[in-house]
Amino acid sequence: ASLDDQNGRVRGEAIWSLAETGAKNAVPALRKIYNENPGDNRYSLVRCLKTLGDNEPFNSEFKRLTAQALESEDQNKRTEAIRSLTYFAKSEAKGLFEQLQKDPNKRVRDYAGWALRNDRRRR
């Protein structure tokens, strides 16, 4: 697997192999991909970089998605933000999911409940 591969799945495997081996020397290359062309591997890169000690992309994405989940007028963007947070920041977003279970929008409430149930099953 190679970070240069255009196939997102192959690139994703390369990203995770670096995280699993703790290859901190790969952080600059991973940041370059994240900043220039993350494609389908955006959240994998965020998780991998966090694993390797680079928290800035995680913090940035978490802040952006939290704002989107809370404030967007577009219900689809709100639910997509919840799904994305469930993928890469389940434990950090638990309080947000609990808050969103009281949201006036039923679909947002349902997604928030799903996120909490999904979180419990993975522990």
Mean pLDDT per 10-residue interval, the chain, length 123 residues = 86 91 92 89 92 94 96 96 91 96 97 85 43
Q: Provide the domain count of the chain.
A: 2
| Residue-number span of the structural domain to which 107 is assigned | 58-121
Tell me the backbone φ, ψ of residue 95, rounded to 5 degrees. -60, -40
Q: Does a structural domain hold residue 21? A: yes
Looking at the structure, tell me whether residues 47 and 66 fall in a common domain. Answer: no
Q: Does a structural domain hold residue 17? A: yes
Q: Say what the pLDDT of residue 51 is.
A: 92
Looking at the structure, tell me whether residues 68 and 101 fall in a common domain. Answer: yes
Looking at the structure, tell me whether residues 41 and 29 fall in a common domain. Answer: yes
Q: How far apart are CA 50 and CA 56, in angstroms?
A: 8
Q: Does a structural domain hold residue 1? A: no
**Taking phi first (over 0 means left), then psi (-120 to 50 degrees means alpha), and beta for anything else, what does residue 53 get?**
left
Looking at the structure, tell me whether residues 109 and 64 fall in a common domain. Answer: yes
Evaluate whether 83 touches 69 at the Cβ level (below 8 Å).
no
Q: Does a structural domain hold residue 2? A: no
Q: Encoding tokens for residue 66?
A: 């939290």
Looking at the structure, tell me whether residues 63 and 35 fall in a common domain. Answer: no
Q: Say what the pLDDT of residue 5 is.
A: 86
Q: How far apart are CA 21 and CA 40, in angstroms?
A: 22
Q: Does a structural domain hold residue 68? A: yes
Count other Cβ atoms within 10 Å, centred on residue 121.
7
Q: Encoding tokens for residue 117?
A: 């149930």
Looking at the structure, tell me whether residues 117 and 92 fall in a common domain. Answer: yes
Q: Does a structural domain hold residue 3? A: no
Global confidence as pTM: 0.81
Q: Say what the pLDDT of residue 122 is.
A: 44
